[in-house]
Amino acid sequence: MGVIGDGITIGVLTPHAAAGPEVELPAMASGLVTAVVARIRPADAVAGDVPTPPETASGLRALARPAPVERAAAGFRRGSVDAVAYASTTTGYALGHSAEAAVVGRLRQLCGVPVVASASSAVDALRTCAAQRVTLVHPPWFRDEIDELGARYFSDLGFDVTLTKATDLPQDPGLVRTRHVVEWASSHLGEGTDAVFIAGNGFCAAAAIEELERRTGRLVLEANQVMLWSVLAATRTTGEVAGFGRLFRTATAATG
C-alpha cells in the first residue's frame, strides 16, 4: 500500500460514553487518521452532560431512531469529515442487519460521505477473509440479551457462531489492558473456529490482535479495527496499517 498522505478525518457517531474509536482509529493508522466524536443523546439530554450509556436493546434502538442520530450527525455535514463510522456494535445487534443498513443509508444521504457501522463491518471482514465459523468474544459488561442478539446477528447471516464472554476481565472498560485480553482470549477459544471477533467499540483490544493471531493461528477481528478497514476501503484511502492483524494484509493482497 502507499502512503495515506494528508490523512482523513472520520466522524465517529456513538451512543456510548466510554472512549474507544477516538483512541484506536488514529493509533492503528499511525496517527494519520483523525477521529472526531459526536455522542448520540436522548432528546431530553442536558448540553454538556456525559450521556448515560444505553445497556438494553430497547435503549439502543431508541437512540438509533432518525431524530437523535440526525441531531448528533449534524456537525458532520458540509464536508467536515471524509467518512462517518457508526461506532456501536451493540446497536447493530439490537437493530439487526437490515435495520442497521437502513441507518447507514440515512446517514450517507445526510452527510454525503461514506458511512460504515461496526457490526456490518465485521460481517464484511469475515466474508472477505472467507471465515465461516466465528467465535464472538464479548466483554463482561454486555447484558445477556445483548449476547443473545449478537449470536443471532451473525447466525442470521449464515455464520456458524460460538459465543464466549470474558467474565474474568474488569467490568470497567478503562481498566482492561492488552495483556488481559491476550491471556483470556487465547485460553478460552475452542476448536473448530476460523475467526474471532472481539465485539464492543469501548472494548479496546486492537493492540491484542497480532499476539492473539500468533498464539491461536486464527483470524482475529476487533470492533474498531474492522471499522477502520471499512473506512479505508470506502474512501479508497491507501496507506500501511501494520501490526493490527491479518485483515489488513489480506485486504492488501486482494486489491494489490
pLDDT (tens digit per residue) in 179-224: 888 988 888 877 788 999 999 998 889 999 999 999 999 999 999 9
pLDDT (tens digit per residue) in 32-46: 899 999 999 886 554
**Better-scored residue on pLDDT, 140 or 252:** 140
For the cut 70, the answer to whether the pLDDT of residue 5 exceeds it is no
Nearest of 3, 70, 56 to residue 32 by alpha carbon: 3
pLDDT (tens digit per residue) in 122-159: 999 999 999 999 999 999 999 999 999 999 999 999 99
Nearest of 87, 111, 95 to residue 37 by alpha carbon: 87
Cα torsion through 171, 173, 176, 177, rounded to 10:
180
User: Which domains, and CATH codes, for the chain?
Assistant: 8-118+224-245 (3.40.50.12500), 122-222 (3.40.50.1860)
Residue recorded with cell 492483524: 245
What is the 3-class SS of 161-230, one letter each residue? Answer: EEEEECCCCCCCHHHCCHHHHHHHHHCCCCCCCCEEEECCCCCCCHHHHHHHHHHHCCEEEEHHHHHHHH
Instruction: Provide the percentage of residues in the chain whose pLDDT is more than 90.
Output: 68
Where residue 254 falls among pLDDT bands split at 50, 70, 90? low
Nearest of 234, 229, 208 to residue 107 by alpha carbon: 234
- pLDDT at 50 (0 to 100): 53
Q: At what angle do helices 223-234 and 118-128 cross, to 10 degrees?
A: 80
